[in-house]
Amino acid sequence: MNKSPILLGSLISKISPNLIRYASSASASGSSQRKVAVLGAGGGIGQPLSLLLKLSPLISDLSLYDIQHTKGVGADLSHIETRTKVRAYVGKSELSDALKGMDLVVIPAGVPRKPGMTRDDLFNTNATIVADLVSACAKNCPRAIIAIIANPVNSTVVIASEIMKAHNVYDEKKVVGVTTLDVVRAATFIAEAKGLDPAKVNIPVIGGHSGNTIIPLLSQTSPPVSFSQQELESLTTRIQNAGTEVVEAKAGAGSATLSMAHAGARFSFAVLEALSGKEGVVECGYIASRETEFSYFATPLLFGRNGVERSMGVGKLSDFEKKLIEKAKKELNGNIQSGLTFAKQYLEKSK
């Protein structure tokens, strides 16, 4: 028996209020379905992310890849009564098959943070993982949009771009770092502080995806709200350190997985809707930048049929926000340079 769009939409809405619009609009518009791969599907983010993607009528084929556990995850998800077909692949020998024909590749693969670790501590391990996976993307699905979740995003997106360039298939519209979790957290924390419905709060978060490179534009919150200087400082600090808040609360058992899975699904659905022709789709993301003094920078992005159509820029900034950008310069530029250096060394070893 086929599930109606209303029932499927209701199911997704119970999981996350902000995802309902993707399910209902996709069903109503009859938009074409797409093929999506999750690289790292057996992990703490990959499993719940794959579940959310399996529920979406935007996706016809869901390809799951990891170095272990993937067959079990695939079998489990395949029992869910939606039309999305699930295929599971395990190990490097099956990576090429996992990627062929994909429209969107989401990469949550990597090791999680533990208490006391910064995103930079993860760099060498996760940088190599991302470089290997993106190399496979360049060979097997060079036209796919690549959404990078693996931390440190400020560097891994740079690495992914350099790998694609080395294979002569780079398209700056199609390599994006997923910073949606910062937007989700900002909306949640502001709603809590101001007594608003978090599903109706929208706030752009620019810069990067770690520490003080995360710059919430509180002056551009919708619906408009006012903040005291103390509120500006405390909310900004909490948004910037929210990942550490989760790591410490889990006490060594992992990092932000469930909220990141939600954010990754929200970002994926936005991209897929835009690929299918919906206009005016905007989500924040970290990309190669032409609009700022940084070579990579997160801004609100307008998505279209070919990926990122354009950056929406940073808008009018308050003096407080200008200071935040100035404070972020050293760290963000350092992260970008680390990505460039690693990519150069990786490519030299690969020759």
User: Which residue in 53, 24, 29, 85 sits closest to 268, CA to CA?
Assistant: 53
* pLDDT value for 348: 95
Q: Are residues 145 and 255 in the same domain?
A: no
**Is the same domain home to 185 and 325?**
yes
**Annotated binding residue at 143?**
no
Is 227 within a domain?
A: yes
Q: What's the pLDDT score for residue 119?
A: 60
The answer on 109 and 17 residing in a single domain is yes
Q: What's the pLDDT tens digit per position in 67-121?
A: 999 999 999 999 999 999 999 999 999 999 999 999 999 999 988 766 676 666 7
Q: Are residues 157 and 275 in the same domain?
A: no
Is 44 labelled as part of a ligand binding site?
Answer: yes
Shared domain for 59 and 133, answered yes or no, is yes
40 marked ligand binding residue: yes
Whether residue 345 lies inside any domain: the answer is no
If asked whether residues 187 and 160 sit together in one domain, one would say no
Tell me if 119 is assigned to a ligand binding site: yes
CA dihedral sign of residues 5, 268, 170, 141: negative
Tell me, yes or no, whether 191 and 50 share the same domain.
Answer: no
Instruction: Verify that 142 and 253 share a domain, yes or no.
Output: no
Q: Residue 235 belongs to a domain with what CATH number?
A: 3.90.110.10
Domain end position, chosen among 119, 142, 177: 177
Q: Which of left, alpha, beta for 317 (phi over 0: left; psi -120 to 50: alpha)? A: beta
| 343 part of a folded domain | no
At 264 the pLDDT is 98
Q: Who contacts 18 (Cβ-Cβ below 8 Å, separation ≥6)?
A: 184, 199, 266
Does 124 share its domain with 140? yes
10 found inside a domain: yes
Give the pLDDT score at 290: 87
Domains: count for the chain: 2
For residue 259, the enclosing domain spans 180-335
Q: Is residue 341 part of a domain?
A: no
The pTM of the full predicted model, rounded to 2 decimals, is 0.91
Same-domain status, 278 and 232:
yes
> Are residues 96 and 236 located together in one domain of the fold?
no
Q: What is the pLDDT along the chain (351 residues), one digit of tens a residue?
A: 344 444 444 445 445 555 544 444 444 344 578 999 999 999 999 999 999 999 999 999 999 999 999 999 999 999 999 999 999 999 999 999 999 999 999 999 988 766 676 666 778 889 999 999 999 999 999 999 999 999 999 999 999 999 999 999 999 999 999 999 999 999 999 999 999 999 999 999 999 999 999 999 999 999 999 999 999 999 999 999 999 999 899 988 888 999 999 999 999 999 999 999 999 999 999 999 988 999 999 999 999 999 999 999 999 999 999 999 999 999 999 999 999 999 999 999 988
Q: Is 42 annotated as a binding residue?
A: yes
- Which of 69, 167, 209, 262 is flagged as catalytic? 209
Instruction: Please confirm, yes or no, whether 209 is among the known catalytic residues.
Output: yes
On whether both 202 and 308 belong to a single domain, the answer is: yes
Quick one: 79 exposed, middle or buried, by C-beta within 10 A (0-12, 13-18, 19+)? exposed
pLDDT at position 205: 98
> Per the annotation, does 266 bind a ligand?
no
Per the CB < 8 A criterion, the answer to whether 223 and 195 are in contact is: no
> Binding site annotation covers 126?
yes
85 strand-pairing partners:
61
- Tokens standing for residue 17: 């209020």
Q: Is beta strand 281-288 parallel, antiparallel or unpaired with respect to 296-304? A: antiparallel
Whether 164 has a binding-site annotation, put simply, is no
The residue from 144, 177, 210 where one domain ends is 177
CATH of the domain at 63: 3.40.50.720
Cα 293 from Cα 323, distance rounded (Å) = 15
User: What three-state secondary structure class fits 84?
Assistant: coil
Sign of CA dihedral 175, 96, 99, 139: positive
Is 287 a known ligand-binding residue?
A: no
Q: Which residues contact 102 (CB under 8 A, 6 or more apart)?
A: 35, 36, 37, 63, 140, 141, 144
Q: Which of 121, 147, 177 is where one domain is finished? A: 177
- Kindly state whether residue 187 falls inside one of the protein's structural domains: yes
| pLDDT one-digit tens code per residue, 183-213 | 999 999 999 999 999 999 999 999 999 999 9
